[in-house]
Structure 1
Amino acid sequence: MLRLFCLIALFFVTSAQAEVRVLTSIKPLQLIAAAVQDGIGEPEVLLSPGASPHHYALRPSDVRRVRDADLLYWIGPDMEAFLPRVLESRDKPQVAVQDLPGMTLRRFGDSHDEHDHDHDAHEHEHTSADLGHDHDHRPGSLDAHLWLLPANARVIAARMAADLSKLDAANAQRYAANLQAFGQRLDVLDGRIRPQLVALHGKPYFVFHEAFDYFEAAYGLKHAGVFSVLTEVQPGAQHVAAMRERLQQAGPSCLFSEPPLRPRLAETLTAGLPVKLAELDALGGNLPVDASGYERLLENLANGLTECLGSL
């Protein structure tokens, strides 16, 4: 009996050791990791979707998770400004995905991003609930919302599969199969949403946060303007008037905010105008973490755009 007990205990210890602990900084990376680890392990995430990576304050439990994870993936210092200092004391593999070979990176001010920021009508938004709203959006700075380009997700998933296979060689074939299945599902998704997004070309829409350029570039879309507004400070009447003029000139249009908060100014801006208020979620905050989560993130963006713009 004692020998049997020892064998069972050894089995459980071995099983516990076999699962590689993957930690990602934000949920979109967790969704990509979940596709690669499907059936083998479950990746963890450091920040909740409502937390700002720019001003996030790590708790002692967070520091331990960063230290103990076998593999850690983050966007890079242009997104999670709080992480570099903590990572200095980490001795296990860590990957800033913005530095991976093969990534397509955009900078604010790239040719796709030629909407005119009317500085008289432009205030920066800083809210604790807006991921990325408070990092640098100046022309030439990196647009860190790189996960919204499907080609980048493929590069990230391939690196994750390679890293996991090194640490967990027994499951290398499964990681490779999961990676292949992920790519095939993205192909199917692309075939499904591309036609519906083509039908939206030329329809005007505005955003409160410049987060969607990668997705727009992939599908030939382009927002007509960005209205970034301080939630703590109401912009002056001149600013509001200038923003409303932009909306009036556009005619029937959509104005998208991001959950969980809609800027208080939204109703003031759109009152009496043929503008529909809607939401786009760049983070997939409410999505379950499973093998298909990343595709649902993209599909929800496509459906959100279609639902609003298709009704104009």
Structure 2
Amino acid sequence: MLRPSSLLPAAALAALLIAPAQAEVRVLTSIKPLQLIAAAVQDGAGSPDVLLPPGASPHHYALRPSDIRRLGEAELFYWVGPDLESFLPRVLEGRQAPTLSLQTLPGLHLRRFGEEHRHTDADEHAHGAAAQAGHDHDDHDDHDDHDDHDDHDDHDDHDDHADHADHADHADHADHAGHAGAGDDHDHAHRPGSLDAHLWLLPANARLIAVRMAADLAAADPHNAARYRTNLAAFEQRLAVSDARLKARLAPLAGKPFFVFHEAFDYFEEAYGLRHAGVFAVSAEVQPGARHVAAMREQLKAAGPSCVFSEPPLRPRLAETLSAGLPVHLAELDALGFALKPEAGAYETLLETLGAELAGCLERL
């Protein structure tokens, strides 16, 4: 039994009993993949929220009053940058809390449309070194001053699934890389030389993003700093395992032909030695003419047995039109992880699911 002298004063004991638990840091990300990375880092100390609902386009999204409120309440906000979420720069001008456009993160590997795959393991080592040194927070308020990315207004087409309800009647599917020869709809095509903002699909970039998030969370919540460091180490270990598994499965598939409806996967392709044979860029405004459809079918005929990948939630009707009677397999690639819950391990599942979807089709050729 404790002696009276060892007991806490009644007032102090009462204060301990009613003291609130450490409040979690309110983390908000613009899109689901960033939420998945944040969930791995914050695991056990909080649950990050995501701004865009499933199926919404980061290029054409219209913020609701509740979205504005969540932006105001978030203590940390992460977005890719104006080359993806073109509706956000103006909204973020008045935000005071820490905000990071990830396309400005030091050491990140960025691609531009039309450039050859050139990422190497040496690049990844360089990125790792940069990650250890690059925890400065000076760019938290850097929402609009992206001099290196001033062509972001040209990226109205990305889209990541926004207007997929329209894809059933789809429109001008030009292969802007020059394969189909009808890519004049620049409002719906990634222009050569413009920034490819799908940067989360490179594992080395995801690691750098996680490193930065862990540093930011530790600064905002020192009480849980050790947990964030532990979570980061676990994420890095899981990511390394997934990366090795993907390389082993996808390496034998290099050179097998596949086509996509949206040029969203170049970072992933670069990481694993793949390269799409053509892109059928999507537009919902102009129905493809017979000549254009014929040109695209000629591409597929020339390729022989191949895969054509659309993105969920809906497959463009044009996919069936193009592939009818040809040795073409139709499948899906999900760059955003629609069905994944934001929890530790979900980002790696996103990558492995992409790899499995690619391999599952290409291995049949």
TM-score, reference length from structure 2 = 0.78
Alignment correspondent of 1:229: 282
Deviation at 1:118, TM superposition (A): 3.3
Q: How does 1:184-203 map to 2 (within 5 A)?
A: 184-203=237-256
**What secondary structure does 2:344 align onto?**
coil
Is 2:93 the counterpart of 1:88? yes
Deviation at 1:116, TM superposition (A): 4.2
* Between 269-278 and 222-231, the greater mean CA deviation after superposition: 222-231
Give the 3 Å change call, closer, same or farther, for CA 213–261 of structure 1 in structure 2: same
Alignment correspondent of 1:285: 338
Is 2:205 the counterpart of 1:152? yes
Alignment correspondent of 1:120: 181
Give CA-to-partner distance per residue, 1:278-304, whole Å, 9 cap, x none.
000000010111100100000000000
- AA at the equivalent of 1:120: G
Out of 78, 82, 90, which is 2:83 matched to? 78
Give CA-to-partner distance per residue, 1:67-96, whole Å, 9 cap, x none.
110000000010001111111111100000
Alignment correspondent of 1:212: 265
Out of 20, 33, 37, which is 2:42 matched to? 37
Is 2:362 the counterpart of 1:309? yes
Q: 1:209–1:227: 8 Å Cα contact kept in structure 2?
A: yes
**What secondary structure does 2:331 align onto?**
strand
Q: 1:125–1:231: 8 Å Cα contact kept in structure 2?
A: no
Distance 2:183 2:193 in 1: 18
**What secondary structure does 1:23 align onto?**
strand
Give the 3 Å change call, closer, same or farther, for CA 307–81 of structure 1 in structure 2: same
Q: Which has the larger radius of gyration?
A: 2
Q: How does 1:95-114 map to 2 (within 5 A)?
A: 95-112=100-117
Q: 1:105–1:143: 8 Å Cα contact kept in structure 2?
A: yes
Identical-pair percentage: 67
Distance 1:29 1:308 in 2: 27
Distance 2:307 2:184 in 1: 20
**Aligned pair count?**
300
Distance 1:124 1:41 in 2: 44
**What secondary structure does 2:224 align onto?**
helix
Distance 1:174 1:124 in 2: 49
Distance 1:59 1:267 in 2: 36
User: Which ranges in structure 2 are unaligned for 5 or more consecutive residues?
Assistant: 1-9, 119-175
| RMSD across aligned positions (CA) | 2.1
Distance 1:292 1:57 in 2: 30
User: Which ranges in structure 1 are unaligned for 5 or more consecutive residues?
Assistant: 127-133
Q: 1:106–1:214: 8 Å Cα contact kept in structure 2?
A: yes
Q: 2:35–2:49: 8 Å Cα contact kept in structure 1?
A: yes
Give the 3 Å change call, closer, same or farther, for CA 42–123 of structure 1 in structure 2: farther
Q: 1:231–1:264: 8 Å Cα contact kept in structure 2?
A: no
Out of 184, 200, 219, which is 1:166 matched to? 219
Distance 1:106 1:243 in 2: 26
